[in-house]
Amino acid sequence: MQPKIDLQGLRVGITGGTSGLGLALVRQLAGKGASIAFVARTAGNVERVAAETGAFGIVADIGKKEDIYPIAMQVTANLGGVDVLINNASSLGPAPLALLADTECEELEAALAVNVLGVFRLTKALFGALAASAHEGRGALVINISSDAAVNAYPGWGAYGASKAALAHLTAIWDEESKSDGIRFLALDPGDMDTPLHALALPDADPSTLKDPEVAAAEIIAKMLDALPGHAALTAGAHA
């Protein structure tokens, strides 16, 4: 008998919520009763996932500075605050992959805009709401989706890897600085997944050798629960 996870009352914001890992997270968390607000760039995809899951969809681009405060306002207004922020949206950089010497400055800039600056700006915009959640005893957590490319030097992955390395260190510093506010920060590497981003990077890869995003999402949710031991509605009952 496995405990049934009940996340009623947990308020979660997710970026990149219409494909790959982000979509799997929206589906699984909504299925467990959490209140979800997710962000993606394409209106049709946002509408589809919102209709499927009951989550609140926001059409925006975290790589654009002017979209950040509207995103934050919609997340907090719809959810009544935020307990967990999952910064999942990512930019690959040049596609097809390119050596750094062949990477355009604008391609590196685009990867940094989404993978580092977008995460920083949105987290900063929601920091007060997260701190309020921690103060109320609900717990507060920011999960930043990282990659093994943040620590391993893979040729061709320079823009992506450099941005994810910066994100990992940003996460570690913010975790140290935010202890007094009661906010936890985690950088999690979900592994090589069968996602549109991976297919864009390595179109000839065998999908059977890659992790199912649903499996990765379940692993991330388990780590999320470990980091939120004080949440009142994490488990209830059991299922056969």
Helix residue ranges, H only, the chain: 20-31, 43-53, 65-79, 105-112, 119-135, 158-177, 196-201, 213-227
3-state secondary structure of 208: helix
Which element (helix H / strand E) includes 18? none
Catalytic residue among 147, 160, 163, 178: 160
Single out the catalytic residue among 146, 147, 163, 178. Answer: 146
Concerning whether 64 is annotated as a catalytic residue, the answer is: no
Query: Which of 35, 133, 164, 178 is an active site residue?
Result: 164
Per the annotation, the verdict on 147 as an active-site residue is no
Sheet order of strands, 11-15 included: 56-59, 35-40, 11-15, 84-87, 141-145, 184-188
Catalytic residue at 133? no
Q: Which helix H or strand E contains 118, and what residues bound it?
A: none
Residue 123 is which amino acid?
T
Tokens at 204, concatenated: 């000839």
CB 146 within 8 Å of CB 160: no
3-state secondary structure of 89: coil
Burial grade of 101 (CB within 10 A; 0-12, 13-18, 19 or more): exposed
Instruction: State how far the Cα of 5 lies from the Cα of 15, in Å rounded to an integer.
Output: 23
Annotated active-site positions, please? 146, 160, 164
